Structure 1
Amino acid sequence: MDIVQLVEQAGPYLTAAVGAYGVAVFTRAESAAVDATANLGWRILQAVWCRRDEQGQAELEALVQDTADAPDDADAAAALRQQIKRALREDAELLAELARLLPSAGETVNVTASGARSIAAKTIGTAITGDNTTIRP
Structure 2
Amino acid sequence: MSAEIVQLVEQAGSNVTTAVSACGVIVFTRAESAAADATANLGRRILQAVWRRGDDQGRAEREAAVQDAADAPGDEDAAAALRQQIKRALREQSDLQAELARLLPATGETVNVTASGERSIAARSIGTAVTGDNTTIRP
**Which bin holds the TM-score, normalised by the shorter protein?**
0.7 to 0.9
Which of the numbers 6, 11, 15 marks the counterpart of 2:8? 6
Partner of 2:105: 103
Offset, 1:110? 3.3
Per the normalisation by structure 1, the TM-score is 0.81
- The residue that corresponds to 2:63 in the other structure is 61
Q: Distance in 1 between matches of 2:104 and 2:37?
A: 15
Q: Residues 86, 133 of structure 1: CA spacing in aligned structure 2 closer, same or farther, 3 A cutoff?
A: same
- For the pair 1:89 / 2:66, whether they are aligned, the reply is no
Q: Alpha carbon RMSD of aligned pairs, Å?
A: 2.7
Identical aligned residues as a percent? 68
Superposed CA deviations along residues 101-133 of structure 1, whole A, max 9, x for unmatched, are 1111221123467898x89544x7x87x99898
Distance 2:37 2:136 in 1: 24
Query: Which region of structure 1 is more displaced relative to structure 2, 104-113 or 60-69?
Result: 104-113
Q: How does 1:1-137 map to 2 (within 5 A)?
A: 2-111=4-113, 120-122=123-125
The structural deviation recorded for 1:12 is 0.4
TM-score, L = length of structure 2:
0.80
Question: Cα gap change, 1:132/1:11 in structure 2, threshold over 3 Å: closer, same or farther?
Answer: closer
5+ residue gaps in structure 2?
A: none
Q: Which runs of 5+ in 1 are unaligned?
A: none
